């Protein structure tokens, strides 16, 4: 049994970390203003994880330079609201990180 099941046991133990360790989101979206934002996905079959990754990357690129706003606009049902979405998502994440830094000192 050890010869046949040892590798399976090792893989289960190593992969269990993904289920037991929580991952903190990149952006804190617990504001009331977020409820009005409607997103557009590339297709029905696009997974939540891949959409979240693309959306987070679009937010970060747009925050660095306004010339990259097209990627964020493509993710929204109302593309003209990109500035409002950028303000909401980045404002809340920066206040959260500042309060955590103060609390940890």
- What would the pLDDT profile of 10-26 be if each residue is shown by its tens digit? 888 888 877 787 777 66
Q: What are phi and psi of 19, to 5 degrees?
A: -90, -25
Give yes or no for a contact between 82 and 73, defined as CB atoms under 8 angstroms apart.
yes
Please report which confidence band the pLDDT of residue 32 belongs to, taking 50, 70 and 90 as the band edges.
Answer: low
What confidence score (pLDDT) does residue 51 get?
Answer: 84
- Of 29-43, 45-59, 69-83, 91-105, least confident by mean pLDDT is 91-105
* Higher local confidence (pLDDT), 43 or 24: 43
Residue 79 to residue 42: CA distance in whole angstroms: 15
Mean pLDDT of 29-57: 78
- What mean pLDDT is reported for the chain? 75
């Amino acid at each position: 049994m050890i010869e046949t099941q040892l590798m399976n046991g090792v893989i289960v133990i190593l992969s269990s970390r993904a289920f037991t360790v929580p991952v903190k989101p990149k952006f804190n979206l617990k504001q009331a203003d977020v409820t009005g934002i409607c997103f557009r996905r590339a297709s029905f079959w696009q997974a939540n994880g891949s959409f979240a990754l693309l959306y987070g990357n679009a937010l970060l690129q747009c925050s660095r330079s306004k010339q990259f706003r097209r990627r964020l606009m493509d993710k929204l049902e109302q593309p003209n609201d990109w500035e409002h979405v950028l303000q909401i998502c980045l404002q809340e994440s920066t206040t959260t990180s500042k309060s955590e830094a103060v609390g940890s000192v």
